Amino acid sequence: ATVLAIETSCDETAVAIVSDRHVCSSVVTSQIPIHQQYGGVVPEVASRQHLEIINQAIAEALSQAQIPIAKIDGIAASCAPGLVGALLVGLTAAKTLAIVHQLPFLGVHHLEGHIYANCLSEPKLEPPFLSLLVSGGHTSLIYVKDCGKYETLGETRDDAAGEAFDKVARLLDLGYPGGPAIDRLAQTGNPEAFALPEGKISLPHGGFHPYDSSFSGLKTAVMRLVQQLKQNSPVVPVADIAASFQATVARSLTKRAIACATDYGLNTIAVGGGVAANSGLRQHLQAAAAERNLRVLFPPMKFCTDNAAMIGCAAAEHLNRGHTSPITLGTRSRLPLTEVMQLYQH
């Protein structure tokens, strides 16, 4: 199926045209420069900005794809989870297009999009596989059983991986968003310079949870380290701290993903979300997986962070199975991935 998809869950206004797993066009307008002055995303500002440019983004996606709307089989938009006011802009635009052109409408779970981003570079990918979802709001290990059928095996107990990158970057005065800045700086630092704690979740009867993670302790450890170093010298070795932090996160995520894939007998790990762009994670996970004959997939760099092509890919998957959403579908700030099928009448 050929789908026009819209993504407005946070601070990217994105529209794409996707034909099953082939991207015909992908327009992503980031609001990062607008939110930078506040050091993070301001929800009200995000909604307004989406509204300002959504029509132009739709027109641009159609013109870049050179596909007339008559050749489109369905209109999709992310509807959960995310900022409700921001989601509402994309969802309303998609519903309007669907009504005007009498096309099926589909609401898409944003995280299902991050999972399906892997199919854009690996079109033969089919469940079952393990998904390591590492984004600004999530750190999850998900057993992908089928399109729409997910089981969450591991989660973060506090900060998400991307959130940890953003918070540590703020501590180091690297600006927003922090992930790309830390990644860049880490290239020039020594990852062994500082020993930092990898957060572990204790189990009530001893031992540690094998798949759950925690990053708030790591963030605090970096904060203490910076304070301590500042007492001795005004010049803080920022690159070494960034490299050590990044290596700790990469080791922690790699350990959990490998354990999970091995325990559940899944030989493919598909990574998704903004942190999938991280070079440290890519290196660590590739190396560890190769040792165990596991296959690791990463989406193309530009489809790791938010985009509409991944939403279109997930939507096409559902539409091919006859799943469509009621036009009355609303937005949800939270929605467990296990409840995705609530979005469809089938």
Question: Which residues fall in the annotated binding site for Fe cation?
Answer: 110, 114, 306
**Interaction of residue 112 with Fe ion, rule CB under 5 A:** no
| 10, 83 contact by CB (below 8 A) | yes
| 176, 39 contact by CB (below 8 A) | yes
The whole-angstrom separation of Cα 199 and Cα 117 is: 28
For Fe ion, the closer CB: 112 or 198: 112
Considering only residues 77-106, where is the footprint of ligand ATP by CB under 6 A?
82
| 145, 300 contact by CB (below 8 A) | no
Residue 50, binding choice from Fe ion, Mg ion, ligand ATP, none, Cβ under 5 to 8 Å by partner class: none
Binding site per annotation, positions for substrate: 133-137, 166, 179, 183, 278
Residue span 272-311 as binding mask against Mg ion, x where in contact by CB under 5 A, dash where not? ----------------------------------x-----
**Interaction of residue 135 with Fe ion, rule CB under 5 A:** yes
- Interhelix angle 279-291/238-263, nearest 10 degrees: 40
**Interaction of residue 138 with ligand ATP, rule CB under 6 A:** yes
The whole-angstrom separation of Cα 223 and Cα 312 is: 40
Question: % helix / strand / coil in the chain, to the nearest 5?
Answer: 45, 20, 35
| 163, 210 contact by CB (below 8 A) | no
Residue 183, binding choice from Mg ion, ligand ATP, Fe ion, none, Cβ under 5 to 8 Å by partner class: ligand ATP
> Which residue intervals of 197-264 are DSSP H helices?
216-232, 238-263
Sign, CA torsion 62/98/10/255: negative
For ligand ATP, the closer CB: 9 or 324: 9
Query: Which secondary structure element, helix H or strand E, spans residue 1, and what is its range?
Result: none
Considering only residues 47-86, where is the footprint of Mg ion by CB under 5 A?
none
* Partners of residue 26 on adjacent β-strands: 16
Which range, of 122-130, 142-150, 161-169, 237-245, touches ligand ATP by CB under 6 A? 161-169
| 272, 133 contact by CB (below 8 A) | yes
Query: Which secondary structure element, helix H or strand E, spans residue 18, and what is its range?
Result: strand 12-19
For Mg ion, the closer CB: 10 or 111: 10
For Mg ion, the closer CB: 240 or 306: 306
Task: Determine which residue in the list 166, 183, 240, 306 makes contact with Fe ion, applying CB under 5 A.
Answer: 306
Task: Determine which residue in the list 277, 289, 315, 319 makes contact with ligand ATP, applying CB under 6 A.
Answer: 277
Task: Determine which residue in the list 8, 13, 135, 248 makes contact with ligand ATP, applying CB under 6 A.
Answer: 135
Query: Which secondary structure element, helix H or strand E, spans residue 163, and what is its range?
Result: helix 161-171
DSSP state of 122: -
For Fe ion, the closer CB: 29 or 135: 135
Which range, of 12-20, 68-76, 138-146, 198-206, touches Mg ion by CB under 5 A? 12-20
In the complex, least distance from residue 273 CB atom to Fe ion, rounded to whole angstroms: 6
Query: Pick from 161, 148, 342: which is nearest to 250 by CA?
Result: 161
CA 321 to chain centre: 24
- Interhelix angle 84-100/43-65, nearest 10 degrees: 30
Considering only residues 236-275, where is the footprint of ligand ATP by CB under 6 A?
273-275
Binding site for Mg ion (CB under 5 A): 10-12, 306
User: Which chain residues interact with ligand ATP by CB under 6 A?
Assistant: 9-10, 82, 110, 114, 135-138, 162, 165-166, 177-180, 183, 273-275, 277-278, 305-306
Q: Which residues of the chain form contacts with Fe ion (CB under 5 A)? A: 135, 306
